[in-house]
């Protein structure tokens, strides 16, 4: 690899590292399909949700910003579920029992899925929380890294419904 290539890679990584909060530019692309199990052991397949707006959040119980986002995501779910929004919380926790307890304790009513390295890699998740807003056509419309303000998320969801 040439010195110029290494410098370019370093520059790109440095710029990306600065994007730790807020909407991150994302090129419009098809959301990678996945099938993951929810807290009840049922399989949830993203492609089965085509025709709905889907908010996918990669999170973990040990992550303070993730814990803070739970009430925000819950309110969005309750406000917009009847209009076609589906929320999928993909936990990257290794201890699934801790996720079950946390979801029960916090009263999470949206789908909580057991994530894996493959799905995290498909979505290029580097830190949590990371959210993706997927349109009715299955295309990723927006990506949020490091949490997001409730009003901004609600505005984006409303515009896509």
Catalytic positions: 63, 66
CA distance 133 to 4: 35
**Strand ranges inside the chain, DSSP E:** 23-24, 29-30, 35-37, 43-45, 53-59, 85-91, 111-114, 130-134, 139-145
CA distance 99 to 19: 27
Q: Which residues contact 95 (CB under 8 A, 6 or more apart)?
A: none
CA distance 41 to 134: 24
């Amino acid at each position: 690899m040439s010195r110029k290539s290494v410098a370019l890679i370093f520059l790109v990584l440095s710029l990306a590292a600065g994007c730790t909060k807020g909407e991150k530019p994302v090129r419009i692309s098809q959301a990678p399909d996945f099938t993951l199990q929810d807290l009840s052991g049922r399989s949830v397949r993203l492609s089965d949700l085509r025709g709905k707006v889907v908010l996918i959040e990669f999170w973990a119980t040990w992550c303070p910003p993730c814990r803070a986002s739970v009430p925000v995501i819950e309110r969005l779910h309750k406000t917009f579920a009847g209009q076609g929004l589906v929320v999928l919380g993909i936990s990257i926790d290794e201890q699934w029992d801790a996720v079950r307890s946390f979801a029960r304790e916090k009263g999470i009513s949206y789908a909580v899925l057991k994530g894996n390295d493959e799905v995290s890699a498909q979505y290029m998740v580097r830190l949590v929380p990371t959210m993706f807003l997927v349109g009715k056509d299955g295309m990723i419309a927006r990506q949020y890294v490091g949490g997001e303000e409730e009003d901004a998320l609600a505005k984006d969801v409303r515009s896509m419904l």
